[in-house]
């Protein structure tokens, strides 16, 4: 397959890249840290097309996606892993702004570009790593939970759009719980999952072309309970 991964230099994105690179795939990777892109390229040079771009710089992202599309000619699978979020109980806007710029502005621009490419091709598979944290508002990280809720709804909208258009575009929303990456912030975190286990389940969900998937199974159960918990109880947690 021809695969493009945005946010491939760390965390879930890096782990997904390494798993796909060990199979018969050609992978375009987009990230903002050149030295990390170079490390991945050196390890899998025959399968890797590294491209430097910051998700918050729309011009860079447009150029990067267009360059990879031109080089590959056809994209089978696009995975959006880029994301950020910070603890911000004091509602400091300077803390919230990078989350909004990354998880909404840059994210939407890139997702739309891939969707248009798949429209032109007549098919394709669009995957976004959202979060189980987008199901309810979280006062310790308001922008993170709100932007992830936005992503979840946006992916559902694109899935419906693809269905109504009749174009064979698969839209998959992956909703992890807490994963042992730099994104897991705070003290006394419960149920933090190893990246290896998470990425294996993500790849399984992609292969099955699921519309949405919670990873892992424990977090699927927790997500259902959390989503359906009455607010009168949720607000006390």
Q: What is the pLDDT of residue 229?
A: 75
pLDDT at 145: 94
Q: How far is CA 31 from the centre of its chain?
A: 13
Q: Residue 177: what pLDDT? A: 82
Q: Does pLDDT of 189 surpass 80?
A: no
Q: Tell me what the mean pLDDT of segment 80-90 comes to.
A: 92
Q: What is the pLDDT of residues 124-157, one digit of tens each?
A: 999 999 998 898 898 989 999 999 999 999 999 9
pLDDT value at 37 more than 90? yes
Which has the higher per-residue pLDDT, 234 or 11? 11
Average pLDDT over residues 209-237: 79
What's the whole-number mean pLDDT along residues 218-228? 74
Report domain extents, the chain. 2-234
Per-residue model confidence (pLDDT) at position 181:
55
Instruction: Tell me the C-alpha distance between 73 and 223, whole Å.
Output: 39
Provide the pLDDT confidence category of residue 180 given band limits of 50, 70 and 90. Answer: low
CATH architecture of 2-234: 3-Layer(aba) Sandwich (3.40)
**Residue 187 has what pLDDT?**
47
Confidence (pLDDT) at 76: 98
Contacts of 166 (CB under 8 A, 6+ apart): none
Q: Is the pLDDT reported for residue 171 higher than 70?
A: yes
**Alpha helices, DSSP H, located in the chain:** 11-21, 34-43, 58-72, 93-100, 107-121, 142-165, 195-207, 217-228, 231-234
Note the pTM of the prediction, 2 decimals: 0.90
SS3 assignment, position 134: helix
Return d(Cα 235, Cα 237) in angstroms, integer. 6
Portion of the chain with pLDDT greater than 90, in percent = 75
- What does the alpha-carbon distance between residue 114 and residue 124 come to, in Å, rounded to a whole number? 9
The pair of three-digit structure tokens given for residue 69, joined into one six-digit string: 């599309």
What pLDDT is stored for residue 191 in this prediction? 57
């Amino acid at each position: 397959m021809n695969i493009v991964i945005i946010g491939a230099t760390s965390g879930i994105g890096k782990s997904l890249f390494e798993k796909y690179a060990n199979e018969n795939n050609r992978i375009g990777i987009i990230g903002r840290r050149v030295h990390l892109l170079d490390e991945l390229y050196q390890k899998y040079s025959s399968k890797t097309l590294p491209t430097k771009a910051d998700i918050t710089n729309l011009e860079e992202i447009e150029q990067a996606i267009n360059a990879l599309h031109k080089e590959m000619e056809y994209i089978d699978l696009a995975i959006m892993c880029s994301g950020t979020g910070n603890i911000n109980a004091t509602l400091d806007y300077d803390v919230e702004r990078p989350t909004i710029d990354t998880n909404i502005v840059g994210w939407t621009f890139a997702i739309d570009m891939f969707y248009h490419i798949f429209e032109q091709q007549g098919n394709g598979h669009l995957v976004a790593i959202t979060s189980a944290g987008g199901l309810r508002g979280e006062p310790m990280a308001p922008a993170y939970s709100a932007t992830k809720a936005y992503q979840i709804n946006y992916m559902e909208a694109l899935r419906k759009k693809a269905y109504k258009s009749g174009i064979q575009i698969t839209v998959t929303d992956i909703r992890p719980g807490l994963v042992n990456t730099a994104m897991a912030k705070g003290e006394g975190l419960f149920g933090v999952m190893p990246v290896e286990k998470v990425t294996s389940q993500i790849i399984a969900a992609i292969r099955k072309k699921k519309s949405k998937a919670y990873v892992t199974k424990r977090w699927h159960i927790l997500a259902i309970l959390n989503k359906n918990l009455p607010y009168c109880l949720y607000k006390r947690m």
